[in-house]
Chain A
Amino acid sequence: MQLEDKISILSGAAKYDVSCASSGSRRHNKGMGMGSASCAGICHSWSDDGRCISLLKILLTNRCMYDCAYCANRCSNPVPRAAFTPEEVVDLTVNFYKRNYIEGLFLSSGVERSPDYTMEQLVRVVRALRMQHEFHGYIHVKAIPGASETLIEDAGRYADRVSVNIELPSERSLNLLAPQKKRGDILMPMDFLGRHILANRDERTRSRRAPLFAPAGQSTQMVVSASPEPDCQILHLAESLYRRYRLKRVYYSAYVPVNEDARLPCVRQPELLREHRLYQADWLVRFYNFTAGELVDEAHPQLDRDVDPKSAWALNHFERFPIEVTTADYETLLRVPGLGVRSARRIIGTRRHAPLRFEDLPKIGVVMKRARYFLTCHGRFAEQTLQSPEMIRALLAPPKAPPDTGVQLSLFGEM
């Protein structure tokens, strides 16, 4: 088989893996070998679906012994199968990197023969890149559930990020849709990696020379809307993953129908808005000191689709507002819809040496679209009258589409 065809098959098979982050790791190049990893991450291109391409995202092989209902590569699917040799992957990575097409490699694989065999193949590629080619670029490698701990440890030693996919939000759904996979097999390497990463960070604080172990941490991914769990359950799961295994990221991927299967819901379009709201809530949990319980609970198991989770929270807790922008502390400012980490810091920095006025807020970069309803400055609102939460919600929610036609209106009239 030609290399072109392999690239087509094996990157086409890897495209449902969401993660393409290349951030969180800093590798300096001291003049030996090639490449470096930039802490902020660099995107190198954007594919036609608008997602960034920063890593060469491929499967080593799409031959797989599992039969998971939602997966394009399940063994019962009649798709063309292919496998790279480790040398081919190394050659592609190095040559793409030299031409600055990519920031590094994202390597995953279908499970062929056994988890151990597959994991060993993955480690071979990563080791060759780091040891033979002195490659200092970013490497993200999948840990295969069920593989031995020594192999996973090897992967962590060479890669920047290691990830295990949790696949689905609950054990029940996993048993139904991926009967050959066990929840315990997935959580075990996660726990192992979590403990190892923590121990390594500790070592690194004591000695700069301690070897790196997965410096960009571990992440995971789950498919949403393929199973009936509400947002409430998904967010609580994510929160506990962050807390227990210290994950860097949980990725959510809206289910894209690739297979006909009675166990799967019938969807025409992937639920992108749901995915978006989940990411917004995820950010609130990680960077804004929110707990999942504040955003969703038994009474409101789903996130609000019309307004973002922070606005929804603020409207449900309207008694806590307005916030006085000249005196509120950092944590309180962070809870105001429209204020982010940067705006909150700038507000605090600016009011330290000058009185803050409403007209200064847009100047220092605060987006007033949402914030104006929740802030006072020297006791005054930006608006003339204090509005009720219902009125504010109506202003913030997207205008309802005209119910009749269902045809997308064109901005430029009929062509």
Chain B
Amino acid sequence: MTAWEYDGTFEGLLTAFAAAIDMDAHPDDIAPEGAQLALSGAGLIAGDPARAERLVSLLRTRCAPLTLKHILYCFLSETSGYERTLLEYVRCALAHGKRVDTFHANDAVRAVHELSRKVSGEIHRLGGLVRFRELGDGTFWAPVEPDHNVVCGVALHFMRRLPNQEWIIYDMRRGYGVRWDTHECTPVTMNEELDARIRKEGVDTVDILSASEQKYQAYWRQYFEAISIGARTNPRLQRRNMPQRYWRYLVERPAGGAWRAGPRAVRGTHLSGRSPGCLRGTRERNLLYWKANTGATGGRE
């Protein structure tokens, strides 16, 4: 029985995969450092950027670009215990090349596709559900609380869509965001005091918003109420299309459920079975990997 630990970064994960493939090893568990491993005697694999990069370029030459995207999305899903399945998928991809993504009946391929679909689905959904608030300095600020670590993916969408606007998309749950200054994306963190105030007072009452912000929010709420056909009211359908966990930072007030003000009190609850610390220091690298693996340059193309 063997268990491996990696440092919680994408690089570290890829290094562990490269090691496993090189040694033809089949560890019973691969988990980020700090997770409570059921198996004792876990060996720590130190992240090695060069080795990770070699695996990436090997995958690039042998497989379709979509395969790399699936691997990255599985990492960003932040679910626990996906690593072994992903390793199996990577092995399969190296053996079969471009055909791997047509192996729908293979359990590892199916699991990876499902996980990747959840992440890309959330990126698409947030592309619609993100609500920007105009701040006093003209920046547009959008708080989100996604299930998966998708802020970079959402930012990529808005880089193409609103290139002439300064904006920040901020993950309130993971405590980091991406800032676009009309030229490039940079990771940002909110200062603690403001973070605490927003958690306490709610998003739309803090005094950092611009003068006209409340006006357009009121217009939007007005519109949202008027556009619904009373004879066809269907709150179940509404909740199915727009799950309630996304309602917190909306501007409109859907009627199909209780709307709760203010963000979730506990931070880092998403990391079930993992200490929140395992992702520390990974933000910049996530962003870099994002750029490296999806072909985005970070700046304007």
Contact = CB atoms under 8 A, between A and B. Distances in A.
Interface of A: 3-4, 7-9, 11-12, 14-16, 28-29, 31-36, 38, 40, 42-54, 56-58, 92, 95-96, 98-101, 103, 256-257, 269-270, 272, 346, 349-350, 352-354, 356, 360, 363-365
A350 B99 CA distance: 10
Contact of B255 (A3, A48, A100): A48
A15 B128 contact: no
B140 A256 contact: no
Given A4-B219, A50-B232, A363-B104, 5 more contacts: A29-B163, A31-B300, A48-B228, A48-B254, A352-B102
A31 B128 contact: no
Contact of A35 (B130, B131, B162, B241): B162
B30 interface: no
Nearest to A12: B226
Interface in B247-274: 250-252, 254-256
Interface string B214-242: 00101110111111111111111110111
B173 interface: no
B160 A36 contact: yes
A395 B226 CA distance: 41
A360 B160 CA distance: 40
Leading 8 A-B pairs by shortest Cβ distance: A50-B237, A364-B104, A50-B234, A47-B228, A49-B232, A360-B105, A12-B226, A48-B228
Given A53-B227, A270-B231, A363-B104, A96 B110 contact: no
26 contacts: A7-B219, A12-B227, A15-B229, A16-B229, A31-B164, A34-B164, A45-B224, A45-B242, A46-B242, A47-B224, A48-B234, A49-B228, A49-B234, A50-B238, A53-B227, A95-B212, A96-B219, A99-B134, A99-B251, A270-B231, A353-B102, A353-B103, A354-B103, A360-B104, A364-B110, A365-B104
Contacts of B162: 34-35, 98
B160 A100 contact: no
B127 A350 contact: no
A34 B134 CA distance: 16
Contacts of B225: 8
Interface in B129-157: 129-134, 140, 142
B165 A34 contact: yes
B250 A363 contact: no
Contacts of B232: 49-51, 256, 270, 272
A298 to B, nearest CB: 32
Contacts of A272: 232
Interface size class of B (residues with CB under 8 A): 35 or more
B54 interface: no
B226 A11 contact: yes
Contacts of B226: 7-9, 11-12, 15
A265 to B, nearest CB: 15
A44 B129 contact: yes
B280 interface: no
Given A269-B231, A364-B104, A43 B254 contact: no
A250 B255 CA distance: 30
A363 B105 contact: yes
Nearest to A42: B128
A4 B218 contact: yes
B95 to A, nearest CB: 13
A38 B131 CA distance: 18
Contacts of B110: 363-364
A100 B131 contact: yes
B224 A53 contact: yes
Contact of B161 (A36, A51, A363): A36
A16 to B, nearest CB: 7
B233 A48 contact: yes
Interface in B35-67: none
A226 to B, nearest CB: 14
Nearest to A352: B102
Contact of B223 (A33, A38, A56, A257): A56
A101 B251 contact: yes
B227 to A, nearest CB: 5
B104 A346 contact: yes
A99 B228 CA distance: 21
B17 to A, nearest CB: 25
Nearest to A54: B128
B102 to A, nearest CB: 4
Contacts of B134: 98-99
B223 A31 contact: no
Contacts of B107: 363
Given A42-B124, A42-B127, A53-B227, A48 B219 contact: no
Nearest to B142: A100
A48 B165 contact: no
B241 A43 contact: yes
Contacts of A44: 128-129
A46 B231 contact: no
Point out which of B105, B110, B133, B165 has the most chain A C-beta atoms below 10 A from its C-beta.
Answer: B105
B254 A46 contact: yes
Contacts of B228: 15, 47-49, 51
Contacts of B163: 29, 31
B104 to A, nearest CB: 4
Contact of A99 (B132, B231, B237): B132
B132 to A, nearest CB: 5
B238 A3 contact: no
Given A45-B252, A100-B142, A272-B232, A350 B102 contact: yes
A16 B231 CA distance: 11
B165 A28 contact: no
A39 to B, nearest CB: 12
A11 B160 CA distance: 29
Given A45-B252, A46-B241, A48-B233, A96 B105 contact: no
